A and B are shown apart, each in its own frame.
Chain A
């Protein structure tokens, strides 16, 4: 029972639960279904400035509500493109609201780290794969010794 419970718990933790995360409370009108799907994509794309790791669509913070309203205004009333809306938010709230930070001097470590760790991993793998080949090569004397031990074991077992 305990085992089943802990399995369920692990499953819960691992599952991102998209259904629960999206709790849109505000109601907006759109001119077309295409506009609405763009709006949904945009509010999913940006990170809420107040809540560290929630996107705009998943947050109830007042600032997230304000930004959703702003995105709706830019999209429907002002007819701006997705990229213009991205630029609008980035100009005001900085790279923080983007989950996809641009490559620049301040972020090179972020972009470079995976490559760095991949290279380390490749190097370690290379070392590990190569080593056993050297060590398993036994000398003739050693092989003779092993054969002797095995023979001894067999005869002991046979005598029991």
Chain B
């Protein structure tokens, strides 16, 4: 037997370790690759949270890039990511749509009252049927859609500043969404005032 072949078991051992490292460390088994990536957002019909008599469908998501966030009040990670969603809503042009996943409407309403509402539109998915259409298997999950309603990115887990900066912002930049922080101290109170005036008009 030649001496070099004594190292064969060591080589096999290192190979197994390498496989294990790649399989268990680099590849997070809790992050399922989305089957819907680069496919159109599925057709759906769901009642609006604020006004259940209004039915929202896929066409309400079209026209401009949208961030669709699946959340619930029973989900602690949703609370953790809420501040970042508020920041995105405040500082960028991106439109946010929320899907309340398997939750009671009154709890969701209270949540939005207490912690603020980053969403342009919130729909209810009380029994999780829309979630199944979207391949959702837990909350929170977040989708980015282009203006034509194609899913360009999916995140399972929280949207945090790092994910925003490294994953979402570059993709949105390609879609020409203004994601720079627009909080310009001079202009901000002015736009707020304009918005307020608009809201007052609608009330009248």
Q: Do A and B bind each other?
A: yes
* Known contacts A49-B137, A62-B102; A67 and B32 CB within 8 A of each other: no
Interface residues of B in 26-47 (CB under 8 A from A): 29-30, 32-36
Q: Quick check: A91 and B35 within 8 Å, CB to CB?
A: yes
- Dominant secondary structure at the B interface: loop
Return the contact of B32 from the options A90, A91, A93 (Cβ within 8 A).
Answer: A93
**Interface membership of A70, Cβ < 8 A:** yes
* Known contacts A62-B102, A63-B138, A66-B128; A92 and B133 CB within 8 A of each other: yes
Q: How many residues of A contact B (CB 8 A)?
A: 15
- Dominant secondary structure at the A interface: helix
Min CB distance A51 to B, Å, is 9
A55 and B34 alpha carbons, distance in the complex (Å): 19
Return the contact of A92 from the options B29, B35, B127 (Cβ within 8 A).
Answer: B35
Min CB distance B182 to A, Å, is 36
* Known contacts A66-B128, A67-B132; A94 and B138 CB within 8 A of each other: no
**Interface membership of A151, Cβ < 8 A:** no
Q: Which residues of B have CB within 8 Å of A145?
A: none
Task: List residues of A whose CB falls within 8 A of some B CB.
Answer: 49-50, 52, 62-63, 66-67, 70, 90-96
Task: List residues of B whose CB falls within 8 A of some A CB.
Answer: 29-30, 32-36, 102, 127-129, 131-138
Q: Would you mind naming 24 contact pairs between A and B with Cβ atoms under 8 Å apart? A: A49-B135, A50-B137, A50-B138, A52-B29, A52-B30, A62-B102, A63-B136, A63-B137, A63-B138, A66-B127, A66-B131, A66-B132, A67-B132, A70-B129, A90-B35, A91-B36, A92-B36, A92-B134, A92-B135, A93-B32, A94-B32, A94-B33, A94-B35, A96-B32
